[in-house]
Amino acid sequence: MKYPVLGLVLFAFGCATHAASFDCKKAQSKMEKAICDNPKISKLDEELAENYQAAKNKLSAETQKVFVAGQRSWVKFLAASCFTDFQAKPASKEDAVQCLETEYKARVAGLKGTGSMVGGFKTYAYFEGDFKAYPKDGEIAFNRVSLVLIDDNSDNANTINSAIKTAAGKTGIDKESTGAFTSDVSNSLTNLSADLIMLTQSESATGGAHPSEYTGYKYFSKELKRFVKVSDIFSNPKWKAVAQQIAKKHFEKEKTMDDVISLDIAAEENDAFGFMLVEKGFFVDGFTSYAARANDGVTMKWDALSKFLTPKGKELSLVPIPK
């Protein structure tokens, strides 16, 4: 392998080392040497370089700047995270190679998806990350954000991108931060109908009292030029009273009522409709404690709430469920 993608990225930033002159004989960093020393990683690196350039060429000039910055962040993140273990010690050669292989494959998949159309919008893969090691404490911290964004400057595209970035939160780790924590954030965009696009945002984190995982949903309406609200789906807030009765019957039938903290449904009229779509309904959780989360969650059938559905609610109730 003659031209590792690290050289390609440096070339994109106008550095002295670039793809045309980078040779494995001149490899200096741990990452460069790992790429050159392992045939599998070398092959993945060549595949990545090819897909990176192809993906970049599909994007507008303005988005290319963001895309290149994301690639540089990805390389910097791997150069630190793949060569440091969870005790802030140098990772073994085997672990480093496994990490590179996993990360390369994920990045290649994202690059191959760049240029895909969702609801009439061109999408692209964006990465942003930060990594800190605390050798004295034997701990590490990192934030990793792998996003699907829209390459478009329309109001609708800007609204969707803004929601994605806001939900992803701040990536940089404060210099004053201490203690181990990790955060992985990702998202997807799915076309549901001529009008509706589903935004799915996922996060897994460690460092608190217990590991946490979260998946959130929003539904963007091109017609409304915003994410749909609860009041766009239901004509009357009384739908929640019916849903609470459905939940109560569910927990009584399952004999898990003792696990329920509250039957209240956290969905105000002006809140974004944020429930996961399931076959012929949507899924509502948040009724039980964390300890009893295995018993949490109730499917609300659209038919049971049909008298409250607005035209937009009926439209949402009829969309095919994404696989």
Give backbone dihedrals phi and psi of 236, rounded to 5 degrees, phi first: -145, 135
pLDDT at 6 over 70: no
Print the domain residue range for 104.
5-227
3-class secondary structure, 208:
coil
Q: Same domain, yes or no, for 187 and 70?
A: yes
For the chain, what's the residue count? 323
| Domain CATH number, residue 240 | 3.90.640.20
Give the chain's domain count. Answer: 2
Per-residue confidence band for 209, with pLDDT thresholds at 50, 70 and 90: low
Q: Same domain, yes or no, for 18 and 131?
A: yes
- 126 - beta bridge partners? 147
pLDDT score recorded for residue 322:
81
Per-residue confidence band for 105, with pLDDT thresholds at 50, 70 and 90: very high
Q: Same domain, yes or no, for 144 and 293?
A: no
**Residue 295 domain-assigned (yes or no):** yes
Tens-place pLDDT, residues 7-20? 444 433 333 333 32
pLDDT at 35 over 80: yes
Higher pLDDT, 21 or 242: 242
Span 90-108, average pLDDT: 96
**Residue 322 domain-assigned (yes or no):** no
Alpha carbon separation from 19 to 2, 10, 192, 206 (Å, rounded): 9, 8, 41, 38
Q: Give, to the nearest 10 degrees, the angle between helix 30-37 and helix 39-57.
A: 110
pLDDT score recorded for residue 20:
25
Query: Alpha-carbon distance 249 to 283, whole Å?
Result: 15
Per-residue confidence band for 207, with pLDDT thresholds at 50, 70 and 90: confident
pLDDT at 205 over 60: yes
> Residue with structure tokens 């092959």?
43
Q: Same domain, yes or no, for 254 and 160?
A: no
Are the beta carbons of 196 and 315 closer than 8 angstroms? yes
Share of the chain above pLDDT 90, in %: 79
Tens-place pLDDT, residues 294-310? 999 999 999 999 999 99
Tens-place pLDDT, residues 129-171? 999 999 999 999 999 999 999 999 999 999 999 999 999 998 8
Boundary residue ending a domain (203, 227, 251): 227
| Domain CATH number, residue 15 | 3.30.565.40
Q: Same domain, yes or no, for 12 and 156?
A: yes
